[in-house]
Amino acid sequence: MRTLGHVAILMAFACNLPHAMAEEASVSITAPANGSTVAANDKINVEYRVTPGSKGDHVHLYVDDKEIAVLRKKQGIHAIEPMSVGKHAICIKIVNKAHTPIGIQACTNISVQ
């Protein structure tokens, strides 16, 4: 009976092992820094790193809640055209294969002068 109990415990652990080993989804924007100021006539290089996790597939890039690019690399730099003077929010959202956000995102706020 004791051996049967040990086998049951090992089976329960083995069945949950893939969930424990799955990577958590995450995204970060390393540039431009939050709160930074950029010149109105300069392109803005957005540097990012993504771990899509088990539910994510790729990411979408947004400026002021408007989607401007689909990014399929797990890390990289994407150049944004010069923006109008003022405050802007740059966000990257992890999405699934159907392009639906999975709820993981990163944002940075900049000022253009």
Look at residue 3 and tell me if it is in a domain.
no
- DSSP-H helix ranges across 1-113: 2-21
Residue indicated by tokens 């300069």: 42
Is the distance from CB of 44 to CB of 23 less than 8 angstroms? no
Look at residue 13 and tell me if it is in a domain.
no
For residue range 40-79, list pLDDT tens digits in order: 999 999 999 999 999 999 999 999 999 999 999 999 999 9
3 state DSSP class of 13: helix
The amino acid at residue 13 is F
Look at residue 31 and tell me if it is in a domain.
yes
Domain containing 108: what range?
23-112
Look at residue 14 and tell me if it is in a domain.
no
CATH of the domain at 63: 2.60.40.10
Look at residue 4 and tell me if it is in a domain.
no
Domain count, the chain: 1
Q: pTM of the entire structure? A: 0.78
Look at residue 90 and tell me if it is in a domain.
yes
